[in-house]
Amino acid sequence: MRQNIFRSIADLRFAIFILLMIASFSVIGTVIEQDQSIETYKLNYPLTNPVFGFLSWDIIIKFGFDHVYKTWWFIALILLFGISLLTCTILQQFPSLKIARRCQFFRTTQQFCRLNISTKLEHLSFSQLLFKIKENNYSIFQQKNIIYCYKGLIGRIAPIIVHFSMILILIGAIIGSLSGFKAQEIVPKTETFHIQNILNNGQLTFIPKVSIRINDFWITYTKQATVTQFYSDLSILNVNGNEIERKTIFVNSPAKYNGIDYYQTDWNLIGLRIKDKDFSIYQYPLVNLPNTQGKVWLTWISNNQQLNDGVTVLIDNLQGYCSVYNKFGKFIGNLELNESFKIENPLILMDILSSTGLQIKSDPGIVLIYLGFLFLMISTLISYITYSQIWIVQENKEIFIGGNTTRATFDFELEFLKLVK
């Protein structure tokens, strides 16, 4: 009974059925936005007008379609698929490899009828034939007048490696789903922060109590004033506030420490530090203008307490200047760093306050996933190695020879003809 259950799990049809279920739920996870707020689902999937006539936000929340890849039933399907691969490897692939390693001698000439290619020789001697076979790198086993030869046995290992690599990928995906996390932080320059704004995480996720300081942030530009790259100089601090790791990151070049990756993803301008004629320093917040082609920020600097007179300052870069407009919207000049701008109340731009956008990710299973794909590529190369077998039986002065191969039949037939001619 137990053996029948394991054989059913190892059956190819069962594995395909589970794989189709995983693919179907993956489609659902692709169509429905994942890890969004409940308000987003209420807006996009209202009860009064369900998508496809039945899909409303309450069904999405009830069945976990808002986080498909972290639900217990999706993880259970992945585990079941992994168990199917493992049992198939143990019950089918290992025995098949064991049989392939055995010396499978033919005892009678009638057995040659079931081979792909066979013939009877009269002009070649037994020793000449063995010499030719040895030259073609075959392993030869002999019992008196019976010969069994094979080569390319390593090609039979490829299916086992495929199963092993897929199991590694599945285990890595489960570990990442259960214990990984992704966070997004917008941090002003020179500030220290902790990982708090978690976008998604698993049931077993542990958020480390680590501190990160943004030492500096800057942007490089082309001669046409377009952004080429933006950089963040960050330090990772221990519990005492001492620096234990420091790196300058930019897009596609993250910092890595203790299994956590810090990616440069965005930037923002948050304010201007202005000195007035009385040498008082004020900080004016910047407001981002929506629906613009690029990033543009503005602020209003008033000349009086009634806030009805002043200038509008626009800025779209970190090159050290911003544009100034009067209250009628007329351009009156550029305000540059550490230089006085002569209007009714002279202004000096002391600093442009910026912040950096970081994406912080941890995926403990990613190493197993990469390792699994490495073994998968290796198995692909190994699968091109042909497993070929040759049988020889000598009866009186006649030599019967035949062979089989797993692939590259034409090449094997050419090789066989060279052996017997």
DSSP 351-413: EEEEEEEEEEEE-TTHHHHHHHHHHHHHHHHHTTS--EEEEEEEETTEEEEEEEESS-HHHHH
pLDDT of residue 369: 93
The rounded distance, in Å, linking the Cα atoms of 208 and 363 is: 13
pLDDT of residue 124: 77
Class of residue 325 by CB neighbours under 10 A (exposed 0-12, middle 13-18, buried 19+): middle
E-assigned strands of 189-295?
192-194, 198-201, 211-221, 227-237, 243-250, 255-257, 260-275, 281-285, 287-288
pLDDT of residue 307: 66
* Residues 6+ away with beta carbon under 8 Å from 147: 130, 140, 141, 390, 391, 392, 393
* Residues 6+ away with beta carbon under 8 Å from 8: 14
pLDDT of residue 9: 82
Question: pTM here?
Answer: 0.73
pLDDT of residue 1: 63
- What would the two tokens of residue 81 be? 């698929």
Name the stretches of the chain with pLDDT < 50.
none
